[in-house]
């Protein structure tokens, strides 16, 4: 067993209080990573941990195992202090949201992430941007550590892989499929888990499809920019994955950008690319993510942000 795993086990063993968080506005991987670890800690160390989140949990995650164990950050006592804080799938510090103050107050921080990051928060870091999901990284470490995993853990790990690979469409490395094969052998039922996620509100899907129908195209059709204004943003649930996925299906579209007016003068940006890395564009706007799937939040109005985006893509 490698040294990092020994430290991981030692830190969990000796912690009196443990909290776990992923990024704000959890997606499937972030929430499933946190809940899987919660259960792993319970099964292997006979300890409870607190899963703390900020933002909105999309409705499609309502029926994932242990969903009710995730606690909104304002329901945590102001003066709560944790010996051990475990961060999963968080990206960078700014994405911690309401959990940040508890993370900074913790005695020791461990992180499991597959985002590209040069500014780690943790003291002990499990980071691998080759992993398809943070749950896959947690699974690999848990196998090395020979942790016991029950059906909930297996399902949560698989759900993280399913959601972060867009139902396996974004798989780049064979090991994610080898791991998934193991997970299936250990009881993960892929059709059942995929259906568990088909749980969106009707209004969400209708707003997403309306947004798609108003998309503007630039660079002779290679860049698609869709926009959601504030009243409709409230009906959106999650990142607008349907918008991103539908626009990406269009012949000739190389880049898809979704601009979401979260508040007046606060624009959430999601950028997707079929082949060419775009994470530098997200980074130049103060965000980050993966090579071909990244995002940012910008304080500006919708029209200015759209112009900035069009300029940023010039020459690509």
Strands 288-289 and 84-88: unpaired
- Rounded to a whole number of angstroms, the minimum distance from the CB of residue 29 to Mn ion is 3
Residue 113 touching Mn ion (CB under 5 A): no
Interface with Mn ion in residues 275-294 (CB under 5 A): none
Please report where in the chains the tokens 């990206």 appear, as a residue. Answer: 91
Measured from the CB atom, the residue of 131 and 306 that comes closer to Mn ion is 131
- Rounded to a whole number of angstroms, the minimum distance from the CB of residue 272 to Mn ion is 15
The window from 83-91, 197-205, 227-235, 271-279 that contacts Mn ion (CB under 5 A) reads 83-91
Residue 60 touching Mn ion (CB under 5 A): no
Residue 29 touching Mn ion (CB under 5 A): yes
Measured from the CB atom, the residue of 80 and 292 that comes closer to Mn ion is 292
35-66 burial, b at 16+ Cβ within 10 Å, e below that, comes to bbbbbbbbebbebebbbbbbeebbebbeebbb
Measured from the CB atom, the residue of 89 and 261 that comes closer to Mn ion is 89
Measured from the CB atom, the residue of 155 and 261 that comes closer to Mn ion is 155
What size, in residues, is the chain? 316
HSE-up of residue 36 (Cα within 13 Å, Cβ side)? 34
Of the residues 42, 54, 60, 89, which one makes contact with Mn ion according to CB under 5 A:
89
- Rounded to a whole number of angstroms, the minimum distance from the CB of residue 146 to Mn ion is 25
Measured from the CB atom, the residue of 2 and 129 that comes closer to Mn ion is 129
- Rounded to a whole number of angstroms, the minimum distance from the CB of residue 114 to Mn ion is 6
The window from 45-53, 116-124, 164-172, 184-192 that contacts Mn ion (CB under 5 A) reads 164-172
Pull the structure tokens for residue 119: 């500014």
- Rounded to a whole number of angstroms, the minimum distance from the CB of residue 290 to Mn ion is 8
Sign of the alpha-carbon torsion through 26, 28, 30, 36: positive
Please report where in the chains the tokens 């990051």 appear, as a residue. Answer: 117
Measured from the CB atom, the residue of 89 and 111 that comes closer to Mn ion is 89
- Rounded to a whole number of angstroms, the minimum distance from the CB of residue 286 to Mn ion is 20
The window from 9-17, 75-83, 87-95, 186-194 that contacts Mn ion (CB under 5 A) reads 87-95
Tell me the residue number closest to Mn ion, measured at CB: 29
Q: CA dist 19 to 13, 24, 103, 112, Å?
A: 14, 15, 9, 14
Of the residues 100, 152, 164, 208, which one makes contact with Mn ion according to CB under 5 A:
164
Residues that bind Mn ion (CB under 5 A): 29, 89, 134, 164
């Amino acid at each position: 067993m490698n040294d990092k795993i020994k430290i991981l086990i030692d830190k969990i063993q000796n912690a009196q209080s443990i909290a776990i968080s992923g990024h704000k506005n959890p997606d499937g991987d972030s929430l499933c990573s946190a809940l899987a670890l919660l259960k792993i800690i319970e099964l292997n160390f006979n300890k409870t941990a607190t899963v703390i989140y900020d933002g909105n949990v999309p409705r499609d995650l309502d029926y994932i195992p242990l969903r009710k164990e995730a606690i909104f950050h304002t329901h945590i006592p102001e003066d709560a202090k944790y010996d051990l804080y475990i961060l999963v799938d968080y990206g960078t510090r700014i994405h911690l949201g309401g959990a940040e103050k508890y993370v900074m107050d913790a005695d020791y921080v461990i992180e499991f992430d597959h985002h590209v990051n040069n500014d780690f928060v943790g003291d002990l870091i499990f980071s691998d941007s080759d992993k398809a999901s943070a749950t896959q990284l947690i699974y690999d470490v848990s196998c090395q550590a020979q942790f016991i995993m029950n059906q909930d853990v297996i399902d949560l790990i698989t759900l993280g892989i399913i959601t972060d690979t867009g139902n396996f469409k974004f798989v780049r490395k064979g090991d994610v499929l080898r791991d998934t094969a193991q997970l299936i052998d250990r009881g993960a039922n892929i059709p059942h888990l995929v259906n568990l996620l088909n749980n969106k509100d009707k209004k969400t899907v209708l707003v997403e499809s309306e947004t798609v129908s108003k998309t503007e195209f630039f660079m002779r059709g290679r860049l698609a920019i869709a926009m959601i204004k504030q009243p409709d943003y409230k009906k959106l649930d999650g990142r607008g994955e349907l918008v991103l996925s539908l626009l990406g299906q269009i012949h000739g579209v190389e880049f898809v950008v979704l601009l979401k007016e979260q508040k007046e003068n606060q624009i959430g940006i999601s950028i997707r690319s079929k082949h060419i890395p775009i994470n530098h564009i997200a980074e130049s706007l103060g965000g980050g993510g993966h090579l071909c799937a990244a995002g940012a939040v910008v304080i500006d109005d919708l029209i200015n942000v759209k112009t900035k985006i069009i300029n940023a893509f010039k020459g690509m």
